[in-house]
Structure 1
C-alpha cells in the first residue's frame, strides 16, 4: 500500500503503478483519520508509517497492539480497539445477515458487502466507527494529544490489514472470522429447519416464507465447493482451433543445431519440413478426435 499526503489529509492507493483504488471499506476507515484537524501531526504520522517506525502490529482478540520507534531508545507501546457489540447485538446482526444469501457469499469470498451497515442497523449499532473519537487508543509516549503521531501511524497501517482481510473489522467488534461464519451457518440452518417444520405442520398453506429466505448454496456451508465445477461444460463454451502460425513447438524451439552434410545441402530444410508436415497431420487428427468426443 502506498500512502501519500494530500491537501486534505493522507491518501492511500495500491501503488505508484495506478492499479486502482483501495476497497471501499479501507477508504471509509481512512476517512476517519483524515478528519483529524491537526494535519501537521498526520504528516509526521505518515512519515513514521512510511519509514518503518512501526516495528510490529499484532491483532490479538479485540485489540491491536503495536510498537512504534520514536526518538527515544525504546519503542512506544500503542493499543487501539473499538467498542465490542454484545451477544444480543450480534444476534440481531446475524439474523439480518441470514436474510440475504448475497451477504454470506460475499463475506465468504473476502469481500465486504457495500450495504453491510444495513445488517448492523437492526441492532442499532455500526460496524464502522462514525467518528474518530470512537476508535479507542492508548500510547506510552509523553504526548498528551490523542491520537498522537504514533497512534496515527498504526492507524494508517491498519488500513492495509483491512484491505487484506475485512474480517478484522468484525474481530474488533467481537466476532472472529471463524466464529462469525460458524454462527452464520448455524443461523441459516435453524431458519431453514423452522420453515420446513412450518410446511409440515400446514402442508396446504402456501409457502410464502420460502421467498423471504431461500435455501443457501451448498458452498455457503462448505467453502471448498466454491472451487469445484462438477457439471458438464456447455459445448458452446468450448472452442477447438488449430495452433496459430508461429505457435508450434518447432517455432518455439528456434534454430536447431542439426548437422549439415556437404553432399546434401538441403537435408536440414527437408528434415524440418517433414517434421512440420507430420505435426500438422497429428494436429488435424487431434482436432477430429476432440470434436468427435465433444459431439
Structure 2
C-alpha cells in the first residue's frame, strides 16, 4: 500500500485525487495536511512514500501588491515542504506546477505550440514563482528522493475554478458566441488524477506535461456544453475583427480565444491516463 500525504487539505486537485483513488480500495492510504500556518512543520512526514504538493495561488488576480505572497506560497513553501519530505525519508515529491511557466496565450489567430525545446519564459510573477519553485526542488533530487514536476494546462471538471465555469455559464445563457479558430490544451480533472496515480505507482521522476488527447476550440467547447443542457447557441464570426484588435491590449480575450498548446508528443505516457475524451469529460462535468 502506498502512503501518500497531500499538502493542501482543501485544494481542488488534492480533493479530486482522493475521490479518484477511492476506487482502488486497499491500494492507497492518504492523509491531507494544511500548510496555512507554521504548525505543519511540527508534523512528521516519516512513513509516507509520497508527498503530493498541491498548495499554490492560482485563481487570484496577480495584482502588484500580491507579488511577495505569490513567491512565499508558490516558491518558498514548496521548497520548504520538499526539504522536509527529503529529511523525513519520503521517497517521492510530486509538485503541481503549471503551463503558465511558458508565459501567456498568443494573440488571436497566432498559433503557439510548446515543444520539448521551448524554454520557459514566465510573463508574470505567478509563472515565475512556479518556475523558481521547480528549480528549487530539483536541486534536492537524489537517488533516494524522486522529484516529479507536473505542468498541466487548464484543468477543468465539476466544481473547478478558472475560465471553464465562466464559459459554461455563458453557454447556458448567451444566444450567440464568437466563432474563432483557436486551439487550447486542456486537462480534465479525472485524466489528471489518473495520471498522478500512475506517476505515484511508477515512482517517476522528471517533468511531465499531461493533457487531453484532443486540442480544444473554445467555441466548439461552448457549443458542446450548451448541447448537454439542451440549448442551442449560434456561433458567429461577426465579432471576430473587433476581438482580434482588442486581443492585443486585453489579456482576458487571449485567455479565452488565444492559442496555447503542448505538442501532443510531450504528453505521451507509457500507460493510458486519458479516461475521458472531450465530449465525455464535458458530460461528466455538466451532469
Q: TM-score band (shorter)?
A: under 0.3
More helix by share: 1
TM-score (norm 2): 0.21
TM-score (norm 1): 0.20
Larger Rg: 1
More strand by share: 2
